[in-house]
Amino acid sequence: MNKINTLFATHGDKKLLSLYFCAGCPTLDGTAQVIKTMERRGIDFIEVGIPFSDPLADGPVIQTAATRALKNGMTVTLLLQQLRAIKDEVSIPLILMGYLNPILHYGIDRFCRDAAEAGVSGLIIPDLPFDDYLSTVKPAADRYDLRIIMLISPETSDERIRFIDDHTDGFIYMVSSAAITGAQQSFDDAKQAYFRHINQMQLRNPRMIGFGISNKQTLESAQANAAGAIIGSKFVTLLNETGGDADAALDQLFAALRS
């Protein structure tokens, strides 16, 4: 069974925590160590960002990380080589998160094949049109037992959400707002109402909430309304500030999530 499906089938009452970081930032060769450290420290699954020159859905923190990674020399090919080298040392699910352009340039079927061979369990492609997902990406992903994770936001219609729920398998990424990524201090009444509404829809797929989680208040709100939380910008900031020392970054992140 795919590692993503296994995780969500077996986590019980535990609230899951996923972290995002951009491969190749702050150092080109730090990807493997960051991943192994996160697993050792109890992170449930990891989103590994593929740096891209025009990350439209991302805020300044992740945009800056992508720019730095590209300047460091990170490429899709190199990232897959780095992941392949540690595939037998990592047991938690790895999800590649990246934009469509580099994947198309690499070749969709080749990318899915090489990602699966590198130990990847799923893909998040924020700018992937759903029609292209159904006609082109999903068949390739299914061939290699990869899960394509789709995003929904407060602006996504109920009809669209149910369509996504019917045609995906893994989990649904609930974006907390229609804004770009970035840490927030709290989730306002509108976001809380959105969370409650999605809960009432009783979707087939489990959900994870991301975008804006950076402290105890936002973490607990996400955990109360989904299977768990995804943290990106906050961890990317800390990882950069510590020069790529994932243990130190995690120490600071866990302290922030307690306060």
Instruction: Considering the candidates 39, 58, 165, 245, report the single residue annotated as catalytic.
Output: 58
Which H or E element spans position 17? strand 16-22
Q: Whole-angstrom Cα distance, residue 102 to residue 111?
A: 10
Q: Whole-angstrom Cα distance, residue 155 to residue 225?
A: 18
Q: Whole-angstrom Cα distance, residue 205 to residue 48?
A: 22
Instruction: Considering the candidates 39, 47, 165, 245, report the single residue annotated as catalytic.
Output: 47
220 assigned to active site: no
Q: Chain centroid to CA 250: how far?
A: 17
145 assigned to active site: no
234 with 256: CB under 8 angstroms? yes
What tokens were used for 211? 């975008």
109 with 143: CB under 8 angstroms? yes
Residues with a known catalytic role: 47, 58
